[in-house]
Each structure stands twice: as structure tokens, then as C-alpha cells.
Structure 1
Amino acid sequence: MQTNLSPNDIERLRREAKQISRDEGCTYTEAINRQAVKMGYPNWALMQHAVSTMPRRFPIFDRSLDEMRQAFRKVKGLDGMRDADTAMRRQMPDLSTQFANPMSALEYARDYLELALSLPRFDPHMHSVAWIEMRVLLPYVFEPLTGTDRFIVLGRDYKPLGMANREDHIDYEAYKNLHVHLPAAELSQATRHTDYKPGYLHGVNPMAGRKYAAALLKQIETVIKLVSKYERSNEQRQGAHRQA
């Protein structure tokens, strides 16, 4: 049974059901119930009820396809600006301290990339909001914390995932909400690929093209499964830290 379905997951299942209905000539109700069965539920109504009662991770990525399409476009008014990148980053919210735990951050990244890949054209402008977001919101590496058995999830700027500010020095120890305890051998296996050392997700910049973004999404889904496997013990450790 599929749990922790996000709003984007529900919307994707609806879109797929509409396509199934058109392709196979069945009713939308039949198609949507088949989608629920595929997720491990008896029917769509029971799946929606189950999803509505599940504990929500925070924050949840919620953006329409049109909004994502707009995010891919060049931001107006940046021509001639000395540092357009910094100007855009200053307008972005800092999610690094808002993520409840590493799973929240990873699922947010997964949902972001799934929606981006659903666009007919995957070509973010280098002066677009999406270009910056993909550096900030998508995981790049599980960085080991010196002298511990913990890792912290970082974006491409080597800042805690969700942090747009890349100028200040950051103490990784302060971001315990993004710390994860994982066996190094299992993390190495989950992130193993050519040319990059273990701990790094697919290294080619996802802005370089759809195939690279799709490869990164596949790795995000793999590490989500791994982090989920150890999530309970991680939460118990975090609770102990808060009580100390």
C-alpha cells in the first residue's frame, strides 16, 4: 500500500486516469478506481479518506503545472543586473529550517522534480526561478558529519537543503532536522554510480536536460526508500536530542 501520497501524487493519478479513460474507452470512475487499486486501496474514495487521515510532512510542495511553467521562464527586469542570481535568491523563502526531517525535504524534492518533468518542454532558463530552485531544493549529496555516524542532506551549493543563501558560512551541526543516521555501506550502495563518490546523488546538473533530471529523480526515489527504512530510529534520536 502506497502511503505519504502528496497532493501532486493525487493530481498525477487523476491525469493518468483521464488518459486511461480516453485510451481504453472506459468511464473515468472505473479508471480512477483502477488507479487506487494500483496504489493498494480498494477504490478511490477509500484511498482519499486514508490519505486525508495520514500525518502530513511539512512543508508540502504544492504548485500547479502552469505555475511551474512560469517558474521555468526568464525573470523579467534582470538584464544588466550585476548579480541576478543573488537578487533572485534573496526573494526565496528559506525552507532549510522548516523541513520537519530529512524525509520531508526529500519528498518535497521528489514532488518538485516530478512536476517539473511533467512539463512538455524541460528547459529552464538560466535566469529563471526554477534554475535557482533546482540548486536549492534538490538534494546533491549526503555529507558525512565529522566524527559521527550521521549525514546531512545538502543542495548543489553545499548548503542545507532548502537554503537559498549561499554567501554565509553554515554550521551543519545546527541543522539537526536534516541529519540522518544511515549505515554508510547502504548509503554507498544506494548512491553508487559512475564518476561520483558514494553519498552523491546523480552528479550531472538536472538543469542540463530531461534525461539528467529523470536520472536524479530515480536516485531521489531510491534514497527515500533507504531513509524511510531507518526513519523511526532517526526520529527517536532527534527526540532524545530535543530532550537533552
Structure 2
Amino acid sequence: MIWRLTISEQVFLPYCIEKQPDERYIVLNREYKPVGFKDKEHIKYEEYPICVKLKGIGSATAAKLSYKGDSNTDTIYLYNDGCVPIQSAEHMKNYLKRLEILPKLKVD
């Protein structure tokens, strides 16, 4: 079964955390827009105050955040089509467990 996120879920659920060239991170939704953005146009991230320097994102933290345990710190995916949070209570539980790590990271 293919799961389709509603517009609201596409906009407000963090999908990935992406490192920018200046080493700051941005939290993106499923549309690869900053969480909360619902715009189909290309967005230049540097034009908005949405990137932050996160302390503590090393390979171990990236692996805990990643839905598949990937230690890559460049793009960290919190879920994919195989574990969409709204698909099941178990997927949501696992997603929220990963998501709760984010506010514990220090912002520089």
C-alpha cells in the first residue's frame, strides 16, 4: 500500500535534517522546504533565518536520528516511504523517539 501524506503532514512533519555548505543545518519537510513552508517555488535557504549551527551532530547522533541508523551527517532522514509516521502506531512511536533527540542538541 502506498501512503500519501496530507498537505499538512508534508508541511509540518520534519522529514530530514540537511547540512548546508557553511556547516549549519536546516530541518526540512517532505517537500524539501523548511518545516512550515508550503511553497512550490524554489527556496534559497540562505535568504531566510532558518539554518542553525547544531552542536553534537556527529556520526553517533546522526545514526540515532536516522530511520535506518545511517551515520552520515550531511543529510539525516527521519523517515522514508517504508516507515511513514502516520502509517502505524509503531512507525509514529519510532519517529517520535528519533525526533525527541533534536531539541536536546545545543544550538550555537
**TM-score if structure 1 supplies the norm length?**
0.36
Unaligned runs of 5+ in 1: 1-124, 234-244
Post-superposition shift, 1:202? 3.1
Aligned length: 99
Structure 2: distance between partners of 1:189 and 1:207: 22
Q: Contact 1:202/1:215 (CA < 8 Å) preserved in 2? A: no
The alignment yields a C-alpha RMSD, in angstroms, of 2.5
Structure 2: distance between partners of 1:187 and 1:151: 14
The aligned residue for residue 179 of structure 1 is 51
The aligned residue for residue 89 of structure 2 is 210
Map 1:116-135; keep pairs closer than 5 Å. Answer: 131-135=6-10
Unaligned runs of 5+ in 2: none
The aligned residue for residue 104 of structure 2 is 225
SS in 1 for 2:18: strand
**TM-score if structure 2 supplies the norm length?**
0.74
The alignment-based identity, stated in percent, is 30
Structure 2: distance between partners of 1:157 and 1:196: 21
Q: Which runs of 4+ in 1 moved over 4 A?
A: none
Structure exhibiting the larger radius of gyration computed from Cα positions: 1
Superposed CA deviations along residues 143-178 of structure 1, whole A, max 9, x for unmatched, are: 1112x110111001101110122x2011011222x2
Post-superposition shift, 1:142? 0.9
Q: Contact 1:159/1:170 (CA < 8 Å) preserved in 2? A: yes
Structure 2: distance between partners of 1:169 and 1:131: 21
The aligned residue for residue 201 of structure 1 is 78
Would you tell me which structure has more helix in proportion to its own residues?
A: 1
Structure of higher RCO (CA pairs closer than 8 Å, 6+ residues apart): 2
The aligned residue for residue 35 of structure 2 is 161
Structure 2: distance between partners of 1:196 and 1:208: 22
Would you tell me which structure has more strand in proportion to its own residues?
A: 2
